[in-house]
Structure 1
């Protein structure tokens, strides 16, 4: 028998591949002890070369806390605490591909190389916990140059003017139609400007690869630029980027194909869309579930691996249903239509996934499953340890972070790592 301290089994092994010491989480927190009996929510999911250890994803959430597009220590702490508790994937907030593509002056950016290193600090820490890291690249379009919500709400004002770092006279969109009376009037993009924006998405994607991300998501939802092109409410163009369905999806396709061309073949690429604008009541053309389904059938050929389905955000007059399952139901509709045609595109569902049973049911295997991944946003702001609570409520014994394991549930359902 070897003496104490000499056995490699007694080493507090460092996490691999990161430039600082922290103990390895092997396996990561949130991994089930008994995979064979675990529900789908706690089963792994593989996309190209990336495997998530469970199906729970931290959805991108703007924090309005960046310094000229650069992440700060705030983001490291904010996202780091989420990584400690074992989601399968964490998606960094909407990150602008050019300065005027930010929602607010304090939004994240990837338009210059100096923004790579702060992001790398975040991906390194996420990876040190055995969790995968994604980033959502975006352009706010006509909803740009706005104040952080806690400032705008207090001041009863939306637009960030030049005095606070805004650019209200340089907001752009597919057409010169403001989102609302209290938003800036956008300038209609020229065809040449559109082509340049496609390249800016590709350049941001290359920087995301350098920053160490495992997954890239393109933001095509919530009334931001790509969504604005998709919708006949905000896109009144008469050129090749407007009018027909094929023309309105052209910008999304060109962005996707440009990004796919510059990232590794092994890297998963996601697209987030609003499944509907909730404007059917108005009796005018809008983006609908039917068009989302039509788009979903096309995007695998563009190189998309996951369709992340949200809804709304492109009209101030949208009318949501009373049911809290309205976004989950859209995902179910789209997924069912795809599976009926033998299309196995992975579907992510987001919205009001706040408790264990809802998360379980969204992804549970079966022909009627709403999605393959459960994306959770605000609930993680309330409970950074939400993954562990969900596991406990579903009676799934999971690995806890090593440093926190002594605080784990006393009832471990008879199973331990």
Structure 2
């Protein structure tokens, strides 16, 4: 059975459009947020525009920015993108305009690093900012905050436990960041509630030791992340989708957050206005993949997306070592997830969607610009001609 026959059997596949609220993705391929650590004071620059723009040219349906800080002190490092000021909007708008012009949908991941902030860029050590970072690069550390005064590790900065007034003030800054994102032209927003960053820190009993309404049992620990989702949804345009990225399991063995907790959380996220739950894992402790529950293998996080989709009745996105087109297509066809996010594979081949379309028997040309389509259509004809006239074909 060839690819065309398989496609006719099931009209829900990797290249079927995905419609949610007033938005339509041309396919179900999403470029996952990938931190670049090259911004200055949160400003988008040429690197970000070309980095993200080439994925739109390559045929992806949705292109997401890296984690973009809602406050200056909410960055992971000095190199993170930011959206805490109106000054950030013009640079981000240029990126949105270009992505949209290529037929893709621009998305932004809104984030606050919490206790994992004030960190070195990965190639400078990936640890906390130290005196040597100030001496060598002028990168000064800052006071980080978190649900409780629990540091990432013994040598990391001890965070300030957030007060009730700080919780309220930060919620307002999430709202302002969402308004700026809409003004810049983003058509999908994702709230980062995974990988050990601030909102994930509220969820886990490992990092949330609070005795007030924002701690204690699972309802208390979910309270602040759900408030943020509700408040962003309130100001985010009604016709635009809202994603939430979660770590479906902490990777902290039996002391942290597990998949059953994530199913419960996903149900509440849907009530708060989330349209898609982006299912990742780990990141709360160091190393990021601590614990056997997060052992990596191809498609290792797909079961999280499948269970949450089925039991919480919410649309999900699968991510993590999904790199073969047939693998991605099979996940969508089987109803394990609605969207497929790829990251490092897209860095290796920004035209991965074109490769996938070709391998799965779809027409690649409607999803790319005419400049590419013109040349690639001629290349395809030439390659077919060469195959038909090759010595091997003649001898066969």
TM-score normalised by the chain length of structure 1 = 0.84
Match of residue 397, structure 1, among 363, 379, 394: 363
Q: Shift of the alpha carbon at 1:221? A: 0.3
Q: Following the alignment from structure 1 to structure 2, what is the Cα–Cα distance between the partners of residues 135 and 411? A: 38
Query: Does 2:53 match 1:80?
Result: yes
Paired with 1:52 and 1:175, the residues of 2 have a C-alpha distance of 40
Segment drifting more, 80-89 vs 35-44: 35-44
Aligned equivalents of 1:119, 1:90: Cα separation in 2: 13
Determine which of 234, 245, 251 is the counterpart of 1:278: 251
Shift of 1:336: 2.1
Aligned partner of residue 273 in structure 1, secondary structure: strand
- Hey, what does 2:300 align to over in structure 1? 326
| Alpha-carbon distance change, 235 to 385 in structure 1, aligned in 2, over 3 angstroms | same
Match of 1:384 in 2: 350
Q: Secondary structure at the residue paired with 1:95?
A: strand
CA distance change for structure 1 residues 221 and 167 in 2, over 3 Å: closer, same or farther? farther
**2:111 is matched with which residue?**
138
Give the direction of change, closer, same or farther, for the CA distance of 1:410–1:177 in structure 2 (3 Å limit). Answer: same
Distance change in 2, residues 1:132/1:373 (3 Å): same
1:303 match? 273
Whether the aligned pair in 2 keeps the contact of 1:168 and 1:184 (CA below 8 Å) is no
Sort the Cα spacing of 1:165 and 1:137 in 2 relative to 1 into closer, same or farther, 3 A: farther
**Structure 1 residues 334 and 411, CA gap change in structure 2 (3 angstroms):** farther
User: Counterparts of 2:155 and 2:15 in 1: how far apart (Å)?
Assistant: 44
2:148 aligned to which of 175, 179, 189: 175
Structure 1, unaligned runs of 5 or more = 1-31
How far apart, CA to CA, are the structure 2 residues paired with 1:86 and 1:189?
A: 43
Contact kept in structure 1, 2:297 and 2:321, CA below 8 Å: no
Cα distance in 1 for residues equivalent to 2:48 and 2:286: 30
Deviation at 1:329, TM superposition (A): 1.4
Change (3 A) 1:385 1:200: same
In 2, the alpha carbon distance for the partners of 1:52 and 1:124 equals 16
Which residue pairs with 1:25 in the alignment?
Answer: none
Q: Which residue of 1 aligns with 2:309?
A: 335
CA distance in structure 2 between the partners assigned to 1:255 and 1:134 by the alignment: 18
Cα deviation, residue 327, structure 1? 0.8
Q: Is the 8 A contact 2:226 2:268 kept in 1?
A: no
Deviation for aligned residue 1:358: 1.5
The offset of 1:316, in angstroms, is 1.7
- In structure 2, which of residues 193, 197, 222 is the aligned counterpart of residue 220 of structure 1? 193
Measured in 1, the distance between the counterparts of 2:228 and 2:140 equals 24
User: Gapped runs of 5+ residues in structure 2?
Assistant: 385-396
* 1:17-416 pair list within 5 angstroms: 40-152=13-125, 157-159=127-129, 163=134, 164=137, 166=139, 168-280=141-253, 283-284=254-255, 286-316=256-286, 318-319=290-291, 320-321=294-295, 323-338=297-312, 343=313, 345-364=314-333, 366=334, 369-399=335-365, 400-405=368-373, 406-408=375-377, 410=380
Q: Going by fraction, where is helix more abundant, 1 or 2?
A: 2
Contact 1:396 1:413 in 2 (8 A): no
C-alpha deviation, 1:168, in angstroms:
3.5
Q: Secondary structure at the match of 1:381?
A: helix
Q: What TM-score, normalized by structure 2, do the two folds share?
A: 0.88
Q: Give me the whole-angstrom Cα distance separating, in 2, the residues matched to 1:327 and 1:178.
A: 27
Q: Which range moves more in the overlay, 162-171 or 92-101? A: 162-171
Measure the CA separation in 2 of the matches of 1:180 and 1:350.
Answer: 27
What RMSD over aligned residues (CA atoms) do the two structures have, in Å? 2.2
